[in-house]
Structure 1
Amino acid sequence: MMTKLDILAIGAHPDDVELGCGGTLAKMVASNKKVGILDLTQGELGTRGTFETRKIEAEKSIEILGISIRENLKFRDGFFINDEKHQIEIIKIIRKYKPTIILANAIADRHPDHGKASKLVYDSCFLSGLRKIKTEINNIEQENWRPKHLFNYIQWNEDKPDFIIDISEYLDKKTEACMAYKSQFYDPESQEPITPITSKNFKKSIIYRAENLGRLIGTDAGEGFTSPQWIGLKDFENFV
Structure 2
Amino acid sequence: MKVDILAIGAHPDDVELGCGGTIAKLISEGKKVAIIDLTEGELGTRGTNETRAQEAATASEILGISARENLKMKDGFIINSQEYQFRIIEMIRKYQPEIVLCNAIDDRHPDHAKAAKLVSDACFLSGLVKIKTDYEGESQKFWRPKQVFHYIQWKNIEPDFVMDISGFLDKKIEACLAYKTQFYDPTSTEPMTPIATKDFLESLTYRAQDLGRLSGVEYAEGFTTEKLLAFKNFEGIIC
- Give the TM-score normalised by structure 2: 0.98
1:186 to 184, 187, 193: 184
Question: Which digits, 9 at most, give the CA deviation of each residue in 1:86-139, with x for residues without a partner?
Answer: 000000000000000000100010000000000000000000000100001121
2:152 maps to 1:154: yes
CA RMSD of aligned residues (A): 0.6
* Long gaps (5+) in structure 2: none
2:115 maps to 1:121: no
Matches within 5 A, 1:7-18: 7-18=5-16
Matches within 5 A, 1:6-85: 6-85=4-83
* Long gaps (5+) in structure 1: none
What is the Cα deviation at residue 234 of structure 1? Answer: 1.4
What is the Cα deviation at residue 190 of structure 1? Answer: 1.1
1:141 to 122, 127, 139: 139
Question: Which digits, 9 at most, give the CA deviation of each residue in 1:166-190, with x for residues without a partner?
Answer: 0001000001001110111111121
Question: Which digits, 9 at most, give the CA deviation of each residue in 1:162-221, with x for residues without a partner?
Answer: 001000010000010011101111111211111111111110000110111111111110
Report the AA paired with residue 170 of structure 1. Answer: F
2:232 to 231, 234, 237: 234
- Give the TM-score normalised by structure 1: 0.98
What is the Cα deviation at residue 144 of structure 1? Answer: 0.2
- Could you list the structure 1 runs, at least 4 aligned residues long, displaced by more than 3 angstroms after superposition: none
Question: Which digits, 9 at most, give the CA deviation of each residue in 1:53-88, with x for residues without a partner?
Answer: 000000000111111300000000011210100000
In 2, Cα distance between equivalents of 1:173 and 1:99: 23
Total equivalences in the alignment: 238
In 2, Cα distance between equivalents of 1:163 and 1:236: 14
Report the AA paired with residue 50 of structure 2. Answer: E
In 1, Cα distance between equivalents of 2:47 and 2:23: 25
In 2, Cα distance between equivalents of 1:30 and 1:188: 33
Task: Give the % identical residues.
Answer: 62
